[in-house]
Amino acid sequence: MAALDLFGRRWTLRIIWELRDAPLGFRALQQRCDDMSSSVLRQRLLELIDARLVHQTPENQYALTGLGRDAHEALRPLSRWSDRWAESLDDDTP
């Protein structure tokens, strides 16, 4: 239940998604997340750090941990489903 609570918080999945390829600094991550407020981003990052899904590098960037990469992999089926869903919404047939 704790994982569902964490993933259900606004922006959490987006942050994991944006960090999937490489570490990002705070401002770059904020921009990729549609310029969400810095206070919300800071709070979500602290929650993800506490959950050991994200860590802060010595260069002050944020990166997925091994557990964070596992979480991203676990979400890939949802991403594939959402692609199919988006295509079906564009299609006129039910």
Question: In this predicted structure, what is the pLDDT of residue 45?
Answer: 97
Question: In this predicted structure, what is the pLDDT of residue 57?
Answer: 97
Question: In this predicted structure, what is the pLDDT of residue 60?
Answer: 96
pLDDT block averages, 10 residues each, the chain of length 94? 88 94 96 94 97 97 97 90 89 67
Domains present along the chain, CATH in parentheses: 2-90 (1.10.10.10)
User: What is the CB neighbour count within 10 angstroms for residue 21?
Assistant: 9
Question: In this predicted structure, what is the pLDDT of residue 2?
Answer: 86
Question: In this predicted structure, what is the pLDDT of residue 37?
Answer: 95
Question: In this predicted structure, what is the pLDDT of residue 92?
Answer: 67
CB 60 within 8 A of CB 25: yes
Helix extents (H) in the chain: 2-8, 12-18, 26-32, 38-50, 66-90
- Dihedral of CA atoms 72, 30, 25, 49 in degrees, nearest 10, equals -50
